């Protein structure tokens, strides 16, 4: 591409007679290969996704505030009225657009890493499911690509199953961003929203929850697999209350997408991160990836590392409206055993060694 631009600049800077020469040079100059074009499309697909999640909500909010002080203030007023009218929609299944799952941009997004989905057992459409997604990583790339986009074949592998992915409820208070999230099938990680999908939306629903959440992202680094799970039992209680089967899933390679500055437990920086996470619901991680123009430069784009999400065997759960703590603990232990089995049976297939272990805190 640089050769083409240089050829045009050199020839067009001369006389009018230089135009035919420039065109001939343009036609004979080497065009980007198909492989190079695919690489750029993949990079742009990832770029738009990262910018959407990091900036779309904030930029939209600032834009609407700015419009209030201009002659276009009715736009902000109308959208505010719409949000008030539509306030409970995220808690009631959202407003997903099936066509969005099939966008070609998601295929380029998938191929950048690449991301792969592996099925180990069938999921019957006659039941509802809570899928535990591990690990959180920095941006939950594996969970998003597999459960929100149709690029990895979830619908073909699990016919009759409608996947949803939960995220912070605060994201659905941001203008425009809330519409973007709902259109893909994301919903708030609240009892009301999850309960609606498991009890009032029929059967065949699979609600994916990144159980470790923001706290787990603070321990995200290559070569270390640590999950925050030991005291996370709310998802098990909800599964019992609604009779939803528990399904473990693990995204191998998720922790390799970024480099993070990990502060040791007890340090003042770690304390600040934890306090911020408790107040705001997310953790301010200090991380970096590759730059836009070069793999060797530093930036905010994830590194191209393969991610393989393995969906494990469902843990059958009875419906108990008011489960005891002992019952919750029992099924929580069953879930952990199923997750450990999934991890140990697949770790050597997808980049880990036989000695690698899964730490559960």
pLDDT in tens, 34-71: 888 999 999 999 999 999 998 999 999 999 999 999 99
Can you list the pairs that 85-93 forms with residues at least 24 positions away whose Cβ atoms lie under 8 Å?
A: 89/182, 90/169, 90/172, 90/178, 90/181, 90/182, 90/187, 90/188, 90/193, 91/187, 91/188, 91/190, 91/192, 91/193, 91/196, 92/193, 92/196, 92/200, 93/187, 93/196, 93/197, 93/201
Residue 6 lies inside a defined structural domain of this protein:
no
Is 8 part of any domain?
Answer: no
Task: Provide the domain limits for residue 150.
Answer: 36-360
CA-to-CA distance for 47 and 360, rounded, in angstroms? Answer: 32
Residue 19 covered by a domain:
no
Quick one: what percent of the chain has pLDDT higher than 70? 83
Average predicted confidence (pLDDT) for the chain? 87
What value does the mean pLDDT take over residues 192-199? Answer: 95
Write the pLDDT tens digit of every residue in 201-256: 889 999 999 998 877 876 666 666 889 999 999 999 999 999 999 999 999 999 88
Question: Which pLDDT belongs to residue 109?
Answer: 97
Using CA atoms, how far apart are residues 99 and 105, in angstroms rounded to an integer? 12
| Within a domain: 50 | yes
- Domain membership of residue 184 (yes or no) is yes
Residue 253 near residue 351, CB atoms below 8 Å: yes
Distance, CA of 27 to CA of 31 (rounded, Å): 9
**Of 158-162, 250-254, 262-266, which gets the smallest average pLDDT?**
262-266
320, exposed or middle or buried, with CB in 10 Å at 0-12, 13-18, 19+?
middle
Lowest-confidence region among 11-15, 116-120, 215-219, 240-244 = 11-15
CB 281 within 8 A of CB 120: no
Structure tokens belonging to residue 97: 């657009």
Q: Is 300 domain-assigned?
A: yes
- The Cα 57–Cα 107 span in angstroms is 24
Residue 7: helix, strand or coil by DSSP?
helix
Average pLDDT for residues 179-202, to the nearest whole number? 93
- 203 in a domain, yes or no? yes
Number of compact structural domains in the chain:
1
Q: How confident is the model at residue 9 (pLDDT cuts 50, 70, 90)?
A: very low
Confidence at residue 33, expressed as pLDDT on a 0 to 100 scale: 81
Q: Per-residue pLDDT for 266 more than 80?
A: no
Answer yes or no: is pLDDT of 264 > 90. Answer: no
pTM summary value: 0.86
Could you tell me what percent of the chain has a pLDDT over 90? 65
The reply to whether 26 falls in a domain is: no
């Amino acid at each position: 591409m640089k050769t083409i631009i240089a050829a045009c600049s050199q020839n067009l800077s001369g006389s009018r007679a230089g135009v035919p020469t420039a065109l001939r040079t343009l036609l004979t100059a080497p065009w980007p290969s198909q492989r190079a074009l695919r690489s750029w499309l993949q990079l742009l697909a990832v770029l738009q996704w990262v910018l959407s999640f990091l900036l779309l909500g904030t930029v939209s909010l600032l834009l609407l505030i700015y419009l209030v002080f201009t002659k276009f203030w009715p736009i902000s007023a109308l959208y505010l009225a719409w949000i008030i009218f539509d306030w409970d929609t995220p808690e009631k299944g959202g407003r997903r657009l099936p066509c969005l799952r099939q966008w070609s941009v998601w295929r380029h997004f998938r191929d950048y890493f690449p991301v792969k989905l592996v099925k180990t057992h069938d999921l019957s459409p006659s039941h509802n499911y809570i899928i535990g997604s591990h690990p959180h990583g920095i941006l939950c790339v594996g969970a998003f690509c597999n459960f929100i986009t149709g690029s990895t074949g979830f619908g073909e592998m699990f016919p009759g199953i409608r996947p949803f992915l939960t995220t912070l409820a605060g994201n659905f208070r941001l203008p425009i961003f809330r519409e973007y999230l709902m259109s893909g099938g994301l919903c708030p990680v609240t009892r009301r929203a999850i309960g609606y999908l498991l009890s009032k939306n029929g059967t065949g629903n699979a609600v994916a929850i990144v159980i470790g959440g923001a706290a787990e992202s603070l321990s995200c680094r290559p070569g270390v697999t640590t999950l925050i799970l030991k005291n996370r039992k709310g998802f098990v209680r909800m599964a019992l209350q609604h009779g939803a089967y528990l399904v473990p899933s693990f995204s191998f390679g998720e922790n390799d997408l970024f480099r993070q500055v990990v502060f040791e437990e007890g340090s003042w920086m770690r304390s600040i991160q934890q306090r911020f996470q408790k107040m705001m619901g997310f953790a301010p991680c200090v991380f970096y990836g590759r730059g836009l123009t070069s793999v060797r430069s530093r930036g905010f784009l994830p590194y191209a590392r393969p991610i393989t999400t393995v969906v494990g065997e469902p843990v059958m759960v009875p419906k108990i409206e008011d489960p005891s703590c002992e019952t919750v603990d029992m099924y929580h232990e069953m879930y952990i055993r199923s997750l450990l089995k999934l991890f140990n049976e697949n770790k050597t297939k997808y980049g880990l060694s036989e000695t690698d272990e899964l730490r559960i805190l």
